[in-house]
Amino acid sequence: MLIDSLAGFFSSDSFMPHGMCYLWDPLVLWLHAGSDLLIGAAYFSIPVVLALFTIKRRDLQYRWVAGLFMLFIVACGTTHLFGVWTIWNPDYAIEGLLKAITALVSLATAIVLWPLLPKLLALPSPSMLAQSNAELQAEIDRRRAAETRLQNLNAELERRVAERTAELENKNTAFEAEIAQRQEVERQLVAERDRAEVANQTKSQFLALMSHELRTPLNAIMGFSEMIKTEAFGPLGQARYREYAHDIHASGEHLLQLITEILDLSKIEAGKMELREEQVVLNEVSQETQRLFHDKAAEHTLTFATETTEAVTITADRLALKQMLINLISNALKFTPLGGRIDVSTDVADDGNLEIAVTDTGPGMDQTELEQAVRAFGQTSAGRKAGGTGLGLTLTAALAHLHGGRLDIDSEPGHGTTITIVLPGARIHNSVTDTATA
């Protein structure tokens, strides 16, 4: 029943084509037909353009509105094309249906557009977009210019910081150098002050010691010579006067030795002592020196032993070498008790150096006394009792140093003392390891 109704609705049997209305006038007929064909073609081309535009411009807002417009235009175009069809075919039901569809699409488009109108009007126009783009580009240019200025300022700041840092580093270096120089000057001043204090103390010790050391033999010389001059014990020629003359001579020798030691030490300290070096047979100098003390050793019942390396020839100042031995043996005699022993030995050590050692069986010294003994005019308590100037070890060490050597002291309280003159092996010309004991 429904199908029959629809068939009757779409039937064109009871209608006449539009051409009948135009009385089949060719001019009127083709005017309408041509116009509808052109309108339909235009309506179908416009949606194609809109479709391509929306495909290319995916950033557009309200693209779905463009879809409604395309549907509306296609519907309108379809009605115009179907109008050409109805000129010859009276299918007015289908034409009415197409117009109804077109009406619905048109109405929907109109309904949607009115609410969208404010939003669409709010969209920026091309001129506004161009202006905004221009303003944005200007802002970008300003920002780039600002960034460039900032980079230039940063570069200038870094350059100034680098210059200032370099300047400060140079000033710091100069300050450090000045501080170091001042510290060095202060250190030198302190050292000079200390040396001055030591020199002043040494001078005081020297004056105190010399006043005693010089006065004692001078008093003896003056006293004994006065007795001889006044013939206090009768006419000259008596044996007692000869003893006085001997005492005067001994006191004079003591004064001469004292003055010689002082002058030699002064020369060494002033750098004016010159060695008269020659080839010296060490054993000969050692024996000559020891013979000077045989009588005194016998008086003190001391055992005087020597152990030497035969035929050792060295380059040295003969008098200075003999003076060093005299000082060491004289010291040993002063501190060795009755019945004691003194050993004098010479040897070539394993390192090639020549060692001349004097060993006694005296009281020995502790570390404090050792430090005191090697100072100029320094004397231990035992040294002050034994007498002397306190210059022997100082002078010996200085003479050894002039020969490129040194003075070693090995001492222990209650076990005696060994003092060794160490001379460089380069001074030895020849040596024979055969040893002899006397």
Q: What is the mean pLDDT of residues 77-95?
A: 86
Bigger pLDDT: 251 vs 79: 79
- Give the model's pLDDT for residue 422: 92
pLDDT per position as a tens digit, 206-219: 555 555 456 566 66
Q: 13 falls in which pLDDT band (50, 70, 90)?
A: low
pLDDT of residue 438: 37
Instruction: Report pLDDT for 386.
Output: 47
Using one digit for the tens of pLDDT, what is the confidence trace for 134-163? 888 888 988 999 899 989 988 988 888 888
HEC string of the chain? CHHHHHHHHHCCCCCCCHHHHCCCCHHHHHHHHHHHHHHHHHHHHHHHHHHHHHHHCCCCCCHHHHHHHHHHHHHHHHHHHHHHHHHHCCCHHHHHHHHHHHHHHHHHHHHHHHHHHHHHHHCCCHHHHHHHHHHHHHHHHHHHHHHHHHHHHHHHHHHHHHHHHHHHHHHHHHHHHHHHHHHHHHHHHHHHHHHHHHHHHHHHHHHHHHHHHHHHHHHHHHHHHHHHHHCCCCCCCCHHHHHHHHHHHHHHHHHHHHHHHHHHHHHHHHCCCCCCEEEEEHHHHHHHHHHCCHHHHHHCCCEEEEEEECCCEEEEEHHHHHHHHHHHHHHHHHHCCCCCEEEEEEEECCCCCEEEEEEECCCCCCHHHHHHHCCCCCCCHHHHHHCCCCCHHHHHHHHHHHCCCEEEEEECCCCCEEEEEEECHHHEEECCCCEEEC
More confident residue, 14 or 68: 68
**How do residues 353-405 score in pLDDT, each as one tens digit?**
988 899 988 888 877 777 766 665 555 555 445 455 567 788 888 888 888 99
Rounded percentage of the chain residues whose pLDDT exceeds 70: 74
| Per-chain mean pLDDT for the chain | 78
Q: Is the pLDDT of residue 99 over 70?
A: yes
Locus of tokens 């609410």: 115
What mean pLDDT comes out for the span 168-172?
A: 84
pLDDT attached to residue 192:
83
- What tens digit of pLDDT does each residue of 175-209 get? 888 888 888 888 888 888 877 776 566 555 555 55
* Whole-number pLDDT of residue 306: 75
Domains and CATH numbers, the chain: 2-123 (no CATH), 278-437 (3.30.565.10)
